[in-house]
Amino acid sequence: MRSNFVFQEIWVGLRRNLTMTVALVVVVAISLSLLGTGLLFVKQVDRTRTYWQSQVEISVYLCYKGDINPTCHGAITAAQLSSIEATLNGMPNDVQKVTYVSQQQAFTLFKSAMSNEQSLVSTVTPSELPPSLEIKLVNPSADYNIVSTAVQGAPGVDSVIDEMTILEKFYSLLNGLRNAVVVVALILVVAAILLVANTIRLSAFNRRRETGIMRLVGASNFYIQLPFLLEGVIAGLAGWVIAAALLIGVKSLLLNNLQQYFSYNVGLSAGDLIEVIVLAMVIGVALCGVTAFVTLRRYLRV
């Protein structure tokens, strides 16, 4: 009988404040979905960063015939190339692998990368591309400066390029997008807190007569407050259900589709999505439940 009374009070409260309840559900859904999207972006950026750090290389471009770099005096000689390779091979704690790429191999890679720009490819010849040494590092973040210093300025070296510096710009863009999503989500979370407080406060005010009667007949504080607490939790769960559907859409329609533009697979798993959805549920329920409890303690004097 008591449980029936509690559920009846919950229904009455939700029905009386239907407009505010719907607004609350919508705000909670949007805030949780944006917060979850930010968390998915965090996971995606971290996974992509880990993958590329394991693949990153230093490209040591070598002098070639016709090189306009003033430090080069003609094409690199066999002795100069052997000296550079010996230096790199003598650093086993920093250098994992050294691969020589000839001008013809560089041209083949260039044609493959620019296959959609045949007009550009037709203007380039193998002799115009520099040979290089592609260096796979043991620890890219720690070993770059050591290896770069060892070969920079050596006879026959045109320039040293760290692929990580290029990737950092890409990471900065992704981090900026992630931070913007999280900031907007936090603003909406604050809006949701205010809406929960106002909804519970209005519901308590509308039923002040019923709560007064319950107090007179000896009902405990918890029993009087329970319907209001559950109203907030139910609104939070309803918003979470909508947010979960939106997060599934974000992963399926956005993050998964991005993978078709890359030759590597660093996509998020179903486990990652479930983890974010469960975390969103905990945040949504805790946000609405705690806010309702604090509001009742302040405005519902029992």
Rounded to whole angstroms, how far apart are CA atoms 159 and 148? 10
Hey, what domains does the chain have and what are their CATH numbers?
2-52+168-299 (no CATH), 55-162 (3.30.70.3040)
pLDDT score, position 69: 84
What pLDDT shows up at residue 82?
92
For residue 67, the one-letter residue type is: D
258: three-class secondary structure by DSSP? helix
Is the confidence at residue 202, as pLDDT, over 70? yes
- pLDDT at residue 89 greater than cutoff 80: yes
Alpha carbon 150 to chain centroid, angstroms: 36
Check pLDDT > 70 for residue 287: yes
112 C-beta neighbours (distance < 10 Å), count: 9
pLDDT digits (tens, 9 = 90+) for 175-188: 787 788 778 778 87
**Of the ranges 130-134, 166-170, 214-218, which is most confident?**
130-134
CB 302 within 8 A of CB 221: yes
0.85 cut: is pTM over it? no
The interaxial angle of helices 163-206 and 18-55, nearest 10 deg, is 160
- How sure is the predictor about 200, in pLDDT bands with cuts at 50, 70 and 90? confident
Q: Tell me the C-alpha distance between 225 and 181, whole Å.
A: 35
Tens-digit pLDDT profile for residues 93-138: 888 888 899 989 988 888 876 766 777 778 888 888 889 988 888 8
Does pLDDT of 85 surpass 60?
Answer: yes
